[in-house]
Structure 1
């Protein structure tokens, strides 16, 4: 899935000359956690998070807080080394960026100009779509040998039942690297006839468990 399919295009931005107070109002009004800082040509020159703004604001627990801190410019607190992504990048790459850099937001730029933004929330929504959990369905996990040509065999069994697949994922089988786990969701509330087909074809079904088996 491409970044441009999931990014938010209505981005709330501020400039380096705007103040911490401006940022507080923007964060609270729009219920967001990050604000890209741009110049007059929409080039991204920095970014501020709700944590940056909170840390730079007067403490609500101090009676004689210096409210003049709210007039400090965002240029004085923003992060200037901003990681950006292209609209034609893959959403999976964004997940790696979030993980490797321990961040929760990246501006999206084309020709260095801001065109959108991707946040943790966008990424989680994408995960929900990719796994098919937003559609009423049944999940089945099948253990298969880690060699070419195994996925079509599983899918063919599903196809014979004429059931609609909502998602297919493949991940390692941790106890033994010679195997993988195929996880798929099908639009049926009674997956047991298909599970029986899989077992009759000598596939090991890891989930759902057979009645009486431990979790």
Structure 2
């Protein structure tokens, strides 16, 4: 899936000369956590988070403190080293950026101009869609040798039952790297016939476990 398929395009922005108070109002009114800061050409020059605004706001424990701090411009608190992504980047690649840089939001730019925004919540929702857990389905995990041609064999067995596959994931089998685990979700609440077919074909079904097997 490409970023352009999941990004929000209705992005609330401010400029560096707007105030902390402006950001506080925008965050509250639109229930957002990040505001890209753009210049007159709509180029991203910074980003401000709700935490930045909170840290720069007067403390509620100092009643006599003036609210002048709220009149400071956003250029004084914004993060200027902003990581951006492109609409044609893959979701998986952007998820890696989130993880490696420990960030919660990235602006999306094209031709250096802001065209969208992606948050960690957007990524989580996309993961739910990609794994098929947002539709009624059953999960089956099959352990197979780590060699070419194993996936078509498993899929063909499912296909014989005329059941739709919502998603397929493959990950390493940690106890032994000579194997991998194929995880697929099928659109049926009774996966037993498929599981029986897999076992008859001598596939090692890890989940659901057979009766009497320990967890």
The reply to whether TM is greater than 0.5 is yes
Alpha-carbon distance in structure 1 between the residues aligned to 2:143 and 2:187: 21
> Any idea what SS the aligned residue of 1:124 has?
helix
- Tell me the residue number matched to 1:73: 73
Within 5 Å, give how 1:26-65 maps onto structure 2.
Answer: 26-65=26-65
TM-score, normalised by the number of residues in structure 2: 0.98
Aligned to 1:200: 200
Aligned to 1:17: 17
Q: Displacement, 1:133?
A: 0.2
* Structure 1: segments with no counterpart, 5+ residues: none
CA–CA distance in structure 1, aligned partners of residues 19 and 93 of structure 2: 33
Q: Which residue in the other structure is 1:120 paired with? A: 120
Aligned match of 2:108: 108
Give secondary structure in 1 for the equivalent of 2:32.
coil
Per the TM alignment, residue 59 of structure 1 is displaced from its structure 2 partner at its CA by 1.1
What's the counterpart of residue 176 of structure 1? 176
CA shift, 1:214, in A, is 2.2
Residues of 2 paired with 1:172 and 1:5: CA distance?
A: 29
C-alpha offsets along residues 14-70 of structure 1, whole Å, 9 cap, x if unaligned? 000001000010001000010000011100000001111111111112222331100
SS of the equivalent of 2:64 reads coil
Which secondary structure state, in structure 2, belongs to the residue aligned with residue 42 of structure 1?
coil
User: CA shift at 1:212, angstroms?
Assistant: 2.4
Quick one: distance in 1 between partners of 2:7 and 2:50?
Answer: 20
TM-score (norm 1): 0.98
Partner SS state of residue 107, structure 1:
strand
Structure 2 unaligned regions, length at least 5: none
